[in-house]
Structure 1
C-alpha cells in the first residue's frame, strides 16, 4: 500500500470514528434575547424624582446565551454540561463584571435510572422546585418576581462551588438536593449554602416544597471563594434562609397557581447601598402570590398575578410593611421562537415611615421610586434560539 493510500485509509477510518462520536454526542448553542421599551412613572435619581423612559433589557426573560451538551456513555448514562452567560442587549455588556459564564457553568453525570449529579455554578434546588409553581416561570418573568427577588424563586442568583443531585421521576415524585462549599481554608461555613426540594407532577396537578439556607452569603464580590457573590444576591447578610410551597393546576388550556415563601435575612450588611439605613438589622419576608395564564388564541395569551409581601424589620428599628403588586401581561407569538409582549405592573407599599424599604421598586429594575408606589409598563420582543 502506498503512502497516499495509507493516508487516505487513515483519514477514512478517522472520519468514521468522528462520525460515531458525533452520533453519540450533542453540543447545542442556545439563548434568549429580550429587549423592550420601558416606562416607569417615578424614579429617585440622586434626589431628583421623575418618570423614566428608555430601553430595558430582560424585563420579561433574562437575556443569556450558552452551550449545553450530552455524551452517551452507554447503559443509560450520559456526560452532561452547561455553560451560560447573562448580558445586556442595550450595550452588550457582561451583567456581572468580568465573570465569563456568570449564570451557569457545570458538568456532571446523568443516569436514566439513578438520577443526575452536577458540579459547578448552577441554580439551587429551591429554584428548581418552586420556579415552575410561580408567576415568574408561568407567564410574567422578571417583572413578576417577588420584591427584591428576596426568596430567589426567580433565580436572581446562581450558586457557585455547588454539588447537586436530582432524582429521576418515580410515580410523579422527584427531588433534588445541593451543597455549595465556601472554598475558604479554615472557614468551612463562611458563605456556604445548602438547599433541597421535592415535587409531585401528575396530570394537571403540580405540587412542590423547598428549603434553602445560606451562611454569610454575598460576603465577597466574586463568588469563587464562596457560594454566592455580592454582585448577585439581593442583600448581603449574616445568614439567609428560605422555605416555601406552592401548587399549580392546569385547567383546560390555561393554568392557575398559588405560592407561599418565607425568607429571612439576619444581620444585614447593606452599608454603602440604597438600604444603608437598615444595616445590621434583621429582615423577614412573607410572600403570598396567586396567578393565572390563558391562551386566548393559538398565538395570543394573557396572564395576571397578584403578590402580597409582608416585610418585618427588627433590631434598632422595628417596622412592618405591606408590599402589594399586580402584574398583567399579553404576548403574541409570531413564531415558535419569536414573541411580542406588553406587560404592566403596579406596586404599592404601606408602612415603614420613610425608611428605605418604604420606597417602591420593581423586582427587575432596582430603581427606587420617589414614593411608596411605582408603575412599570414595557413593550418588547423575545427571541429564543
Structure 2
C-alpha cells in the first residue's frame, strides 16, 4: 500500500509538471544588489554638533531587493501573474522591515491583452509607477536624487497594502492606471485608506505623465493595518496626504533630458512625527526638478540633476524653507547587469528658524546634518540578477 501511494504521488507530480508546461508558466527569481563606500561631510553627533561620516551605504543607486515573479498563460489572451518582493540591507543582511516577509511587494492578479491588468495586494501607487519614469530617480540618480524625505513617493519609499489596482492596455501611445486601498477596519471606511490614479502618453521620443494620490489618516494609531503603516518607510504621519504632479522626458539622440513638478501636502501632522514640528501643523512641499543623462561611450555615461523644494509649514509653527540639491553621477557598465558608479550630491537649506526641517538631509543618507548643508559621495557596485 505504501508503494502504491508513492507511485500515485509521483504520478501527481508528473501530471502537475505536464500541466505547468502546457500552460506555459514561468517563475523568475530576480533582484538588485547595491552597495557603496560613502562619505557624508556632515552628520549630527549625539552632542548635536556636525561631524563627518564614513561607512558602507546600502542602495545609494538602486534599492537592494530580491523577489519572485511569475506568469501563467491561462488561454484566450489572459495571464495569471504575481510578484513577491522584499527589501534588505546588503551590508548586514537585515530585512528593511522585519515585520513583513515581503516588505516591498506582494500581489496577485490577471492580465488580459485586450482589457488590461487587475492586481490585488501590496503594491506601488500610480504616483510612483507613472512619475518615476519622468524623474531623475528612475533616469540615473536612484535614491540619492529622491526629493527631500521622498515627500511625493516618486522614489517609492513605501508601497500600499490592501490595494486593488487596474492598469489599462496601451492605446495609441496612451494608458492609465488607478488604485484603491482599503482601510480594512470595521466601521471606519476612511481610516487609513488611499486612492490614486495616473496616466502617461508616448509620442515619438517624448514621454508625458501625470498622477494623483489622496490618503486619509495614514499611520493612524487606531488602524495601523490599513493602507500604509510606519514600518513601510513612511516618514511623515498626518491626518491627510495629497500628492499630484506631472512631468516629461525626451530622448534626444543617445541622451535624455526631463523635468518634473510635484506638490505634496500633509495636513494635521500627527504627534510623534519624525520632524521637529507640532502636532496639528500643516506641511506642504513643492518640488521642481530638471535632469539629464548622456552616454559618452557604450559603457560610460554621465547624469546630472537639480531640484528646488519649497517647504511651507503653517499652524502653531510657521516657516518657509527652500531646499536645493544638485546630484551628479558617473556610471560604467561592466556588463548589461553589473554597474560601477560614482555619485555626488550637495544639498543646501535656507530658512526654517532653527527647526529640524532646516537641517540638510540627502534622502539616501538617512543622516540629518548638523547644519543647513550636506555633501555625500558614494562609490559603489550594482548588480542585477
TM range (shorter): over 0.9
1-side partners of 2:335 and 2:200: how far apart? 31
2-side partners of 1:14 and 1:82: how far apart? 24
Over 3 Å counting, the alpha-carbon distance change for 1:143 and 1:383 in structure 2 is same
Return the TM-score normalized by structure 1: 0.95
2-side partners of 1:175 and 1:74: how far apart? 25
2-side partners of 1:320 and 1:227: how far apart? 30
**RMSD over equivalenced CA pairs, Å:** 2.0
Superposed CA offset, 1:323-349 (max 9, x none): 000000001011111100000000001
- Asked if residue 208 in structure 1 is aligned to residue 216 in structure 2, the reply is no
- Asked if residue 143 in structure 1 is aligned to residue 160 in structure 2, the reply is no
Deviation at 1:96, TM superposition (A): 1.2
Give 2:309's aligned residue.
309
Higher mean C-alpha displacement, 228-237 vs 61-70: 228-237
1-side partners of 2:175 and 2:343: how far apart? 33
Over 3 Å counting, the alpha-carbon distance change for 1:314 and 1:254 in structure 2 is same
2-side partners of 1:150 and 1:257: how far apart? 20
2-side partners of 1:22 and 1:221: how far apart? 47
Give 1:251's aligned residue.
252
Give 1:330's aligned residue.
330
- Structure 2 residue matching 1:132: 3-state secondary structure: helix
Structure 2 unaligned regions, length at least 5: none
Over 3 Å counting, the alpha-carbon distance change for 1:368 and 1:113 in structure 2 is same
- Asked if residue 299 in structure 1 is aligned to residue 299 in structure 2, the reply is yes
Give 1:199's aligned residue.
200
2-side partners of 1:187 and 1:148: how far apart? 29
Over 3 Å counting, the alpha-carbon distance change for 1:12 and 1:283 in structure 2 is closer
Give 1:362's aligned residue.
362
- Asked if residue 99 in structure 1 is aligned to residue 96 in structure 2, the reply is no
Within 5 Å, which residues of 2 pair with 1:20-169? Answer: 20-22=19-21, 24-46=24-46, 47-169=48-170
Structure 1 unaligned regions, length at least 5: none
2-side partners of 1:286 and 1:205: how far apart? 24
Superposed CA offset, 1:133-155 (max 9, x none): 00000000000000000000110
1-side partners of 2:214 and 2:277: how far apart? 25
Return the TM-score normalized by structure 2: 0.95
1-side partners of 2:172 and 2:293: how far apart? 27
1-side partners of 2:204 and 2:361: how far apart? 37
Superposed CA offset, 1:112-160 (max 9, x none): 0000000000000111110000000000000000000000011011000
- Asked if residue 186 in structure 1 is aligned to residue 187 in structure 2, the reply is yes
1-side partners of 2:12 and 2:352: how far apart? 74
- Structure 1 residue matching 2:277: 3-state secondary structure: helix
Over 3 Å counting, the alpha-carbon distance change for 1:276 and 1:321 in structure 2 is closer
2-side partners of 1:242 and 1:203: how far apart? 28
